[in-house]
Chains A and B, each alone.
Chain A
Amino acid sequence: MRLSNTLLAIGLVLGAQVALAAPPAPARKALVSQAAAIERGRKLIEEKKFKAGGLYFYNLVYGNSRMTAQQKQLSKYLMGVALNRANFSQIASFNLLASSQSTDRKLASKSYEQLVKAAEALNDKSLLNYAFKKTDVTELTEIGREYYFNSLAKISMEAGENDKAISYLDNSLTINSENEESIYLKGLAYIKKGDNASAVPFLEKIYKKYEPAPLASKKKDEATLALARVNYNLQKWTAAIELYKTIPKDSHLYRQVNLELSWAYFRNYQFRSALSVIHSLNTPFYENFYDPESLILRSIILLFICQVPDLERSVAFFNNYYVAAYDNLKFWNQNNYSDQKHFAMVDKLMGELNRDRNLSQSSVELPYFIFRTLLEDPEISMKISYLNNIKRERKALNAQFNVPNAMNFLKYGNKILDSRIKNVSAEVGSLVKLRLRDIENELADYITQFDFINYETIGIMKNKAAQKFIKKSTDVSEADDKQSRQFFIQSGFQYYPFEGEYWRDEIGNYQYLGTNQCGAND
């Protein structure tokens, strides 16, 4: 109903403009016949015959030279609407981009609104940002205004304009003060501004809203995590720890939660608790994740409590796993391979993952755990999702329009989609290439950190050796010194050292029993 009203309104506007122009009689006759043809197509859309409508307008626009430029733009807009509704959003967006250039402000605005819908369906972030910036809020009919303001706020935040983002979010919250996305984004905008205290009421509001929700709620976990993070930023370690601990083990965020919880324990000087949590992250259960940070945190804590044997194991693991990966990555990046080669690697890995979701080893040239984590990068995954959507559209086009009277449209559609697939593939490759360089730099930074840890470890070992020597020369042993007291496991004792082995149900239940060995006389 809304769509038909919109189409009618645009039709009326165009009619009035055609009447004002007052062309000579034969030309007017042609105009009227073209307007009638547009009207026939519009009816197809109203009757929800979107595929037929799209094809009809294609023939009208690309096979009819007698149309005025204005009529052509209106037809392109209607073709875009029909194709958007028929889930051919990429082909639709091409025509909508053309109609958005119209001098008719209303038609241009409607085209942008349709472009937003096409970009959303495709998951095309660049098109979405472009269309949102151009859309006039007063002309919105099909997009919610809250969604519009939230999207503008996100665009502003990405540009570092946090105050502007807050003002957009205020607009959204004026319309609906309970809009969760606006509340979360406003909290985030304050955090990005460096004003953590102002962010707390917003994140608390969203947390309280989800507090009574059942355990398995993604939004509840996100809300809890957000509040824990702002408490961490404010250095309220205990409050942050309590919140982190409430996120259940089956949450999709559990791995990340464990890392952040360990940091919070560490900052709160609860070293053993921190190590207990971090044990889980260093088990082979998470071995296919790129996570050098948990290893470095583990090493830092072990350094603080002078647990040299455990520390040596950590350093050795880092050297075997991450330093080797760094060398591999550095060599790869030095070769400066093309975007296409990078994309080919992504494509290969995605194919392997599609065949086996629990893939443990891959045939790609780079370390699997790095590449797999790379695919989870929001920007890369969004681009891949966009690419998959275009591929799906091409498949649907070839299945639905492979009929004699639609051959030209099929050719036209395939030309657009093939060109987009080629360009987006290169964009994915370029993004992956860039991220691989970022990872190389990040690993180089971690390696330096481990060098510092190594240096400190040697210092501890030196001191311990000196202490041992001094003790040997001065100590007098007593008779019951050699008596065994290992009746049960005690603080500072272990049945066997942790070597990374695990049982699935042990994840998240480890207890580190080591004690602070700094200054201890062996």
Chain B
Amino acid sequence: MVQMIKAICFSILISLSSVTVLAQDASAKTDLAFAKKGKRIKIDFGDELVQGQVGTPDAMFLNTKKNHNFKKLIKIRENFNVEMDKSKNAFQK
């Protein structure tokens, strides 16, 4: 009888501990899932001194469209009307 009671207590303890482990796994999975979604993760550093610096890139990166055709922006002469206007006295008597 006593042995039976011990066995039952033991099985209860085992089952409780497995539930805790499962619960911990579940919470870790949830944190990772949040991290993946870009949500905020709270990290407690306690009283640790954190040393950091702002990093700036040494080179500028320009995002340019590939194969941008500037030829279209080059102005082509459509007429010589201004020059023609300047000659308006050419046939004056």
Contacts and interface: CB of A to CB of B under 8 A. Distances in A.
Interface of A: 147, 150, 154, 157, 180-181, 183-185, 188, 191-192, 206, 218-219, 222, 225-226, 229, 232-233, 256, 260, 263, 267, 293, 297, 300, 303-304, 378, 445, 449, 452-453, 455-456
B36 interface: no
Contacts of A229: 79-81, 83-84
Which are the 6 A-B pairs with shortest beta-carbon distances? A452-B70, A222-B90, A180-B91, A181-B91, A229-B80, A184-B91
A455 B93 CA distance: 51
A188 B91 CA distance: 12
B37 interface: no
A260 B88 contact: no
A218 B91 CA distance: 10
Given A219-B91, A263-B77, A267-B76, A455 B70 contact: yes
B77 to A, nearest CB: 5
A154 B91 contact: no
Interface of B: 68, 70-71, 73-81, 83-88, 90-93
Given A154-B88, A188-B84, A226-B87, A147 B79 contact: no
Given A188-B84, A300-B74, A233 B79 contact: yes
B88 A188 contact: yes
Contacts of B76: 267, 300
Given A191-B81, A449-B74, A147 B87 contact: no
A116 to B, nearest CB: 14
Contacts of B88: 154, 157, 184-185, 188
A224 to B, nearest CB: 12
Given A449-B75, A452-B70, A184 B85 contact: no
17 contacts: A184-B90, A184-B91, A188-B85, A219-B91, A222-B87, A222-B91, A226-B84, A229-B80, A229-B84, A232-B80, A233-B79, A256-B83, A260-B83, A267-B76, A300-B76, A452-B70, A456-B71
Contact of B90 (A192, A218, A449, A456): A218
A453 B76 CA distance: 13
Given A300-B76, A452-B74, 18 more contacts: A147-B93, A181-B91, A181-B93, A184-B88, A184-B91, A188-B84, A188-B85, A188-B88, A191-B84, A206-B91, A219-B91, A222-B90, A229-B81, A229-B83, A233-B78, A452-B70, A455-B68, A455-B70
A401 B76 CA distance: 58
Nearest to B92: A181
A384 to B, nearest CB: 16
Nearest to B71: A456
A419 B83 CA distance: 34
B91 to A, nearest CB: 4
Nearest to B64: A455
A185 B84 CA distance: 10
A178 to B, nearest CB: 11
A147 B76 CA distance: 37
B71, B76, B81, B91: residue with the most chain A Cβ atoms closer than 10 Å: B91
Nearest to A303: B71
A344 B72 CA distance: 43
Nearest to A185: B88
A482 to B, nearest CB: 36
Nearest to A260: B80
A219 B75 contact: no
Contacts of B74: 300, 303, 449, 452-453
A90 B79 CA distance: 39
A33 B75 CA distance: 73
Contacts of B71: 303-304, 452, 456
Nearest to A184: B91
Contacts of B93: 147, 180-181
Nearest to B86: A378
A59 to B, nearest CB: 38
Contacts of A452: 70-71, 73-74
Nearest to A240: B80
Contacts of B90: 184, 218-219, 222
Contacts of B75: 445, 449
A226 to B, nearest CB: 6
Contacts of B73: 449, 452
Contact of B81 (A192, A263, A445, A455): A192
Contacts of A183: 91
A398 B91 CA distance: 36
Contacts of B81: 191-192, 229, 233
A29 B82 CA distance: 62
Contacts of B79: 191, 229, 232-233
Nearest to B77: A263
A233 B77 CA distance: 10
Contacts of B87: 222, 225-226
Nearest to A158: B85
Contacts of B86: 378
A456 B91 contact: no
A378 B84 CA distance: 12
B4 to A, nearest CB: 82
A169 to B, nearest CB: 12
B73, B79, B86, B90: residue with the most chain A Cβ atoms closer than 10 Å: B90
A154 to B, nearest CB: 6
Contacts of A300: 74, 76
